[in-house]
Chains A and B, each alone.
Chain A
Amino acid sequence: MKLYQRTIRDLHQMLVDREISSVELTDAVLSQIDAVGDTTKAYLLVTRELALRQAQAADERLRANRDVRPLTGIPIALKDVLCVRDVVSTAGSKILRGFTPPYSATVVERLEGEGAVFLGKTNCDEFAMGSSNENSGYWPVRNPWSLDRVPGGSSGGSAAAVASGEAIAALGSDTGGSIRQPAALTGIVGLKPTYGRVSRYGLIAFASSLDQIGPMTRDVVDGALLLQAIAGHDPSDSTSSLRPVPDYLATLTDGVKGMRLGVPKEYFVAGMEPAVEQSIRDAIRLLEQQGASIEEVSLPHSDVALPAYYIIAPAEASSNLARYDGTRYGFQAGGGRNLIEEYMLTRQQGFGAEVKRRIMLGTYALSSGYYDAYYLQAQKVRTLIIEDFKQAFKKVDALLGATSPTAAFELGAKTQDPVAMYLNDIITIPANLGNVCGISVPCGLVDGLPIGLQVIAPGFGEAAALRVAYAFEAATQFHKARSPLMGAAA
């Protein structure tokens, strides 16, 4: 097996055993980026020199056996919404072209502390707004499983990088499904932690009450390792939780025997591909065979989650994106006769169509006379969705469903119809609004394209979500399937 095809856990062992060095490993992954990067377009920026410098430092650490951590020497990709000191960070937007933050996100600092190696900044939908990566301000990403298909979004670059061997693991961000959906569509594991589990400091904001950073990995163990490294309270993020972080590996292999797993009937939505539904039903049966008890549950307000999301997220975004005015950083149009005209030109030329659409939608929803009908109503619906989950989790330990109603679709298939695009997130959005956590784990191929099983656990129940996902993974081979671009595992 090629080095770039392996998992964090494998590679960690090899590094510790001095079978390989981090520089060798990093070289191998950089070579794979050279080989397929122009095909996937997964990266916006490859930080080759930084990576090699970090790899050398990691090797010294390994050689000295000084504070060797599970991620020491492991090459990781960072979604471009994460600020990295002195490295161009644009959130996939032209309006931040060339922006070089003077500071790093807390998660980036934590990974640096672990001795991880940063490969570069992965492409994404502009400001993480999208489900296909076609809203990138630079170029679309292609799915390593089928190059005429999207990798999902918005963390499509991170997903494609992991699925093509251009990274061992990656960080993504998930506001309405942006980690889980691309993970499902590229055959990898993606975990959206509970809001507050991971610091958002240095994450270029889309919707502040929903955004979470999470791991995108080859398997569940790697997901647990990466989450372990980034989770926990951060004094710089007032919304990060003070709850202690459990040892995710400790309970990972406990199995599902005796667990109660719920199947929300509302998650089998209209428009779901029959083959997807079949795979999910098979997965549920498999977990039942593993000793879990399965019961149907109801999340009655699932149908209003999508409309609530499409008020709350754009409203917060309209405010979060007000700072991009071309005066302190980023793109400045020039040519305006006065400041207000300059603002309008800069934002007209700097933002892409979807971002502008959402800014307008959010501005409208917050504007005088509409606030109560839209924003306030959406926040009340959010309460109902939180309540739905609370009721369900009184009966069961975790919920099961599809991650995405379909496998990856073709580029351009939904770009003309925003609403059709929004429907991609219909079964990932409730977890963001409901303040719970969710993981997508590969559960099959439909016409050669991967699909994902979503496991949703209560707020701060990441250990339970990982445990169920691991039990499923351990009983199946789906996660071992490799995209054609990554190459056969043999």
Chain B
Amino acid sequence: MSAIATRYEVVVGLEVHAQILTQSKMFCGCSTDYLTAPPNANTCPVCLGLPGSLPVINRRAVEATIRTALALNCEIPEFSKFDRKNYFYPDLPKGYQISQYDLPLSRNGHLEFDLNGEARRCGITRVHLEEDTGKLLHEGAIHEAQASLVNFNRAGVPLMEIVSEPDLRSADEAREYVMRLRAILQYIGVNHGDMESGQLRCDANVSLRPAGSAGLGTKVEVKNMNSFRAIHRAIEYEVERQTQVLESGGRLAQETRGWNDARGLTVSQRSKEYAEDYRYFPEPDLPPLDVSREWVAQIRAGLPELPAARRERFMTAFSLSPYDAALLTSSKTMAEFFEETVRLGAPAKTAANWILGDFSRLLNIDRKEIDDASIKPRHLQQLISLVDSGAITGKMAKQTFEAMYRAPDPGPALEAARGSTQISGDAELDRIVDQVIAENVKSVADFRAGKEQALKFLIGQGMKISRGRANPQRLDALLREKIQ
């Protein structure tokens, strides 16, 4: 890595494809639900490319693209059009993809993010709108396959392409950029952000250049990265590979390489020297779009608070640390969960700790999102208030939380905790403290001799005897009183 740091600068640009959440496809009324439908069930003359069929633009897809572009600080030109990108592939029913070439819906934006507490900014070249392709199923391994099976359910699903400038300087930055971008897409409700199922896809252009130089090195396009982890690993691998080629005096080929996650390496797919000539030209079947300023203002007015703004607000309104605020706002649902918990009366810091601590840990293990959990803000708020009132201990609360999390209905676990309230009667506590003092003569002596540490042990013994039902603060007080 030292060679990279000193001799080469890493240059990464990302192309992110995001399916737009719509009911119907980009140019026809077929359902976009391609993951569950039987093969080729969601198809019609338009998305099968039957002779004579014609496309009609889905307004919601256009608006979602403008919405995204606004969230990414893009300019929205007043005129935009669709173009045909011509190439042959069996998943492309018309022999061309309706896309946007020289007049996309938006351009010149940027995305800001933090990396290790440092502010970063990546330029957004453009956000444009196009249609997805169908899916190929290979019979056997791709290289030995005799045939492929084609399913056009995905063909025509609206797709945004978000192209970044080559402003990213490391795998860490690239991953962080995609995480931020994903959060924004989820925030504004245009995409679910699921990378594994391909609703969000990422290609990276990776090159190296001598440190201090402004030119661009030979660009390698890396495809097939299906997770944040894969993006990170693939770019790290590619940087290492390119460094080695350059270090050993070799030359890099301008090519497309596929990330093989299982083997942890990139594999050359095709050389760009035989680059396809896409013969873009204006789509004659679709009149252009006049994007009036009123329309843009209307879409802008409908934008929710974006992660960056929300994060600022969390820091000022709830006195959260920048780190906690960033984590909480990285997911729209998590931020909303947090805000609702606080609104119901929980102290902000405590709510944040629960959500970012135990809750996130359990969700991560189960690979679940916060809104998939049975625990709702009111449950968490009630649990926090039980702790704060001294009714249950923090330790009990943790156990209760896990029980609530595991149950389809968190209610009973919460009620059980409420019922088995802490020992508050002085008589019982007295008895426990007496027992602790009697059984731990040495520690009592140590504490008398000034060892504060010994008291902690004694409190622990008290908790043990009470099976966690004693209030540690009160044990502390009572022990001090009786020993001294």
Contacts and interface: CB of A to CB of B under 8 A. Distances in A.
A205 interface: yes
Given A239-B287, A328-B93, A363-B279, A322 B54 contact: no
Majority secondary structure of chain B interface residues (helix, strand, loop or mixed): loop
Nearest to B146: A338
A329 B94 CA distance: 12
Given A322-B88, A366-B86, A366-B279, A238 B54 contact: yes
Interface string B115-157: 0000000000000000000000000000000001010000000
Contacts of A366: 86, 279-281
Contact of B95 (A82, A201, A323, A340): A323
B52 A237 contact: no
A204 B49 CA distance: 11
A238 B57 contact: yes
Q: Which of B93, B148, B285 has the most CB of A within 10 A?
A: B285
A202 B52 contact: yes
Interface string A201-241: 11111011100000000000000000000000001111100
B109 to A, nearest CB: 28
A205 B95 contact: no
B54 to A, nearest CB: 5
B84 interface: yes
B279 A239 contact: no
B96 to A, nearest CB: 5
9 contacts: A238-B54, A238-B286, A239-B285, A319-B96, A323-B49, A323-B94, A323-B95, A325-B90, A329-B50
Interface in B433-476: none
B51 A103 contact: no
Given A83-B52, A103-B53, A236-B56, 12 more contacts: A83-B50, A99-B51, A101-B51, A200-B52, A202-B53, A239-B284, A319-B86, A327-B150, A339-B90, A343-B88, A371-B281, A375-B281
Q: Which of A96, A105, A201, A371 has the most CB of B within 10 A?
A: A201
A203 B52 contact: yes
A91 interface: yes
Contacts, number: 100
Contacts of B148: 339
Interface string A288-310: 00000000000000000000000
Nearest to B281: A366
B56 A322 contact: no
Interface residues of B, number: 29
Contacts of A368: 277, 279
B90 A327 contact: yes
B53 A201 contact: yes
B160 to A, nearest CB: 21
Interface residues of A, number: 45
Contacts of A323: 49, 51, 93-95
Contacts of B39: none
B51 A200 contact: no
Nearest to B84: A319
Contacts of B94: 322-323
Interface string B251-279: 00000000000000000000000000101
Q: Which of A82, A315, A322 has the most CB of B within 10 A?
A: A322
Interface of B: 45, 48-57, 84, 86, 88, 90, 93-96, 148, 150, 277, 279-281, 284-287
Contact of B52 (A205, A239, A327): A205
Contacts of B49: 323, 328
A236 B52 CA distance: 11
A316 interface: yes
Contact of B51 (A83, A339, A343, A375): A83
Interface in A91-139: 91, 96, 99, 101-103, 105
A140 to B, nearest CB: 23
A322 B53 CA distance: 14
A102 B45 contact: yes
Given A319-B281, A375-B281, A201 B86 contact: no
Nearest to A347: B88
Contact of B55 (A81, A238, A339): A238
Contacts of A325: 88, 90, 95
10 shortest interchain CB distances as A-B pairs: A322-B95, A366-B279, A208-B284, A209-B284, A204-B51, A202-B52, A83-B52, A323-B49, A368-B277, A323-B95
A101 B51 CA distance: 8
B45 A101 contact: yes
A33 to B, nearest CB: 25
Q: Which of B84, B93, B279, B286 has the most CB of A within 10 A?
A: B279
B86 A322 contact: yes
Contact of B284 (A91, A96, A316): A316
A187 to B, nearest CB: 30
A89 interface: yes
Contacts of A103: 45, 50, 53
A376 B40 CA distance: 38
A97 to B, nearest CB: 13
A367 interface: yes
A455 B205 CA distance: 58
Q: Which of A238, A339, A375 has the most CB of B within 10 A?
A: A238
Q: Which of B148, B277, B280 has the most CB of A within 10 A?
A: B277
Contact of B96 (A200, A204, A322): A322
Given A101-B45, A323-B95, A368-B277, A235 B90 contact: no
Nearest to A199: B54
Contacts of B150: 327
A81 B51 CA distance: 9
Interface string A339-359: 110010000000000000000
Nearest to B85: A319
Contacts of B88: 322, 325, 340, 343
A105 B281 contact: no
Contact of B48 (A328, A367, A375): A328
A345 B370 CA distance: 54
A457 B271 CA distance: 54
A101 B90 contact: no
A482 B52 CA distance: 34
Nearest to A81: B52
A201 B277 contact: no
Contacts of B279: 318-319, 363, 366-368, 371
Contacts of B280: 366
Nearest to B285: A208
Contacts of A363: 279
A431 to B, nearest CB: 17
Interface in A375-402: 375
